[in-house]
Structure 1
Amino acid sequence: MTDTTLVTSTGDGTGKTAITLALARLASDRGATVGYMKPKGTRLQSSVGKTLDRDPMLAREVLDLDAEVHEMEPVVYSPTFVEGAVRGTEDPGALRDRVRESFDALAADADAMFVEGGGRWTTGGVVDLTDADVAELLDARVVLVTDYDEPGDLDEVLAAADALGDRLAGVVFNRVADAAFDGLEADAVPFLEGRGVPVLGVLPRVRELAGVTVGDLADELGAEVLTDAPTDGFVERFLVGAMSGEEALRHFRRARDAAVITGGDRADVQTAALDASGVRCLVLTGGQRPSGAVLGKAAEAGVPVLAVNADTATTIGRVESIVRGGRTRDERTVETMADLLADHANVDELVG
């Protein structure tokens, strides 16, 4: 019988993909034949779902699987799909059958299946396919991945634990900053375990997993890079330049490892950003090129300038998703996460 673990999360961008694949790699290293599935494809390049989720494609590469991507991702959970579901054009029963059939095919030759949830644990509710529903359908134990900054974050953990019930194997806190680490281990972990919620790991924040390179950001945005500056710097947060140049400079000077998003016509904001040492790149919106003076200043400062055709509001949403998602795009990322789990988590419990 195949042992099945579903990895879900309290929110987008918690490192769920890296943890799912790292657990599968650790199980494989212990001699198990592993399989991977993401029933609801949510990490799409196309809003209508024409481009498949990248996570199953990464799983094929990292885990050396030959399964077809459409089997690994039976439901393309695009905005168009959700709109159709709300209008009643999707049959929840048929979708459940599709997920189950794909799972059975993938699990036929596997000792252990690792199933990645979509988005957050509530994603899929419009078709009765939340991660709690999927766990019940596939008879899976569940690992809940979450961030932690302050005690109030435990509200989400307890809500998810209540919904998952006895299927919850435990919680893994990921990307915990040094400032929050001691309080989490001294207070939050005992609190949760006192409420019957096991904590299976507390993983420290590691820079190479916390952000994306400027090059990655440019690729994900489909941006034109207007300078020859190196694009290997890390971006861990973003700032929006919507104020005057003088106000912007005060704002930007407090930033570290930031991308500044502003209109291509805002030379005052662009100049202020280039005067701030913590700005790693400019993302200029609206399809407008900056002045030669700005490009010259950027070249002198070694700051890459990216240009996109989308408006500022759309670009903010895309950058937020990319930066929060972090680096889950290559084998090195998975290996780093596997090492973190081995050092800071109960791997025996996590891999079943």
Structure 2
Amino acid sequence: MTKGKCVGMAMKYLLVASTEACSGKSATILGIAARLQEKGVEIAYAQPVVTVNATNSHLDGDVRLMAQALALPSERLGLPLLGLDANRTIERLTGVDLQDYTKLLKDSLQLPGNLTIVEGGANLHEGSLFDLATAQVAETLNAGVLLVNRYHPLSSVDLLLSAAEQLGKRLLGCVINDIPRDRVDSVQTSLVPFLEQHGIPVFGVVHRNGLLRSVTVKQLVEQLKAEVLCRPDRLDLMVESLSIGAMNVNSALEYFRRGNNMAVVTGGDRADIQLAALETSTQCLILTGHLSPQPFILSRAEDLEIPILSVDLDTLTTVEIIDRAFGQVRLQETIKINCARELFGNHCEIDRLISMLGIE
């Protein structure tokens, strides 16, 4: 592969894609779009394919978010062309859906501005049945592709090399995201040079950020179908980590002190663990077994403004549901949007990207 094949080509479209779901495409777009706007580039935004599920039932949710965060007028927004779910797939397979999505894509993305940033699907293949996979969209729009990779020490290289083979000259380069802080130096000194030597420019190396991976207490309430026992006014608190209180109180206190902005799951009958959690960096207590806490626990939680949730579930099921919630994190809250804009804006080489895009 020849490095920098797209250099010198004036591009109207930048397709921001990812090797897997929840890699940080939206956060990357917020960061680089804000920096491009600062340099006078007129941005438009579109998201042709949206996966429809319980956490993303509003097809235009990301479009509205980008419109607000980047102050984009309606004429610079491209609404989703396809909401992917089981029904749409069956309709396509059985010939009910005969829409020419290639033509629809071309016609719908004639947006004003210097550069239209197109957010890709959950992975490189999503939308293939409808001719809207990453490579197909890039070819239809004559777009350069910026690939966002969520860092995995064992698979990132393979995923990026495979993607480069699929995308060929369309690939501008990549952003490597969600790197544990103690791995950033090794990524910079080993992975980045390797990728650059193999024709994959690296535009950004972004360390892991707890806030961007967080969920609100309200989201946990919804996912767990929990009863809120106190401080329903504090469900906007951000939870960055999960801890399980199932040990003796001395061990628990030491364990909790190492956590930050935690949701602590413990039995409703473990007042000692509950009290220990309340005295550390806890954003909410989640009590299993549908047991009510002692009055002094509720009183202390009220004083500290920490919500207590009660669930009619066992600990294992509760933890599994919370883990899924962390795995489906979306950018919604203003604090996250601002964090993403600053983090990715500061860690991506905007001038190099502008040069690759051929934008004057």
AA of the residue aligned to 1:40: V
- Residues in 1 aligned to 2:250 and 2:108: alpha-carbon distance in whole angstroms: 53
Structure 1 residue 100: deviation in Å?
2.5
**1:241-256 aligned within 5 A:** 245-246=246-247, 253=255, 256=259
Q: Deviations over 1:203-238 (max 9, x none)?
A: 223343332343465478786533117445432244
More relative contact order, 1 or 2 (CA 8 Å, 6+ apart): 2
Q: Deviations over 1:41-67 (max 9, x none)?
A: 2365478x5x32421110121222343
Residue 240 of structure 2 is matched in structure 1 by 236
Is residue 2:61 matched to residue 1:54? yes
Q: What SS does the corresponding residue of 1:98 show, helix, strand or coil?
A: helix
* Residue from 164, 172, 175 that aligns with 2:175: 172
Structure 1 residue 251: deviation in Å?
8.6
- 8 Å CA contact 2:11, 2:143 repeated in 1: no
AA of the residue aligned to 1:165: G
**1:297-312 aligned within 5 A:** 297=297, 299-301=299-301, 302=304, 303-306=306-309
Q: 1:94 to 1:184 in 2, by over 3 A?
A: same
Residue 81 of structure 1 is matched in structure 2 by 88
Is residue 2:305 matched to residue 1:291? no
Q: 1:272 to 1:311 in 2, by over 3 A?
A: closer
Is residue 2:96 matched to residue 1:95? no
Q: 1:226 to 1:197 in 2, by over 3 A?
A: same
Q: What SS does the corresponding residue of 1:209 show, helix, strand or coil?
A: coil
Give the TM-score normalised by structure 2: 0.76
Residue 22 of structure 2 is matched in structure 1 by 13
- Residues in 2 aligned to 1:268 and 1:71: alpha-carbon distance in whole angstroms: 52
- 8 Å CA contact 1:151, 1:188 repeated in 2: no
Q: 1:70 to 1:179 in 2, by over 3 A?
A: closer
Q: 1:228 to 1:158 in 2, by over 3 A?
A: same
- 8 Å CA contact 1:44, 1:53 repeated in 2: no
* Residue from 213, 228, 252 that aligns with 1:210: 213
Residue 345 of structure 1 is matched in structure 2 by 348
Give the TM-score normalised by structure 1: 0.77
- 8 Å CA contact 2:20, 2:122 repeated in 1: yes
- Residues in 2 aligned to 1:235 and 1:86: alpha-carbon distance in whole angstroms: 41
Structure 2: 5+ residue stretches without partners: 1-9
Which stretch has the larger CA shift, 95-104 or 183-192? 95-104
Structure 1: 5+ residue stretches without partners: none
Q: How many residues align?
A: 337
AA of the residue aligned to 2:88: F
Which stretch has the larger CA shift, 165-174 or 142-151? 142-151
Q: What SS does the corresponding residue of 1:208 show, helix, strand or coil?
A: coil
- Residues in 2 aligned to 1:14 and 1:81: alpha-carbon distance in whole angstroms: 25
Percent identity for Structure 1 against Structure 2: 30
**1:1-352 aligned within 5 A:** 3-42=12-51, 44-45=53-54, 49=57, 51-67=58-74, 71-91=78-98, 94-104=100-110, 107=111, 109-215=112-218, 217-218=220-221, 225-228=228-231, 230-231=234-235, 233-238=237-242, 245-246=246-247, 253=255, 256-257=259-260, 258-259=262-263, 267-268=268-269, 272=273, 275-276=276-277, 277=280, 280-283=283-286, 289-293=290-294, 297=297, 299-301=299-301, 302=304, 303-306=306-309, 319-320=322-323, 322-324=325-327, 326=329, 328-330=331-333, 333-351=336-354, 352=357
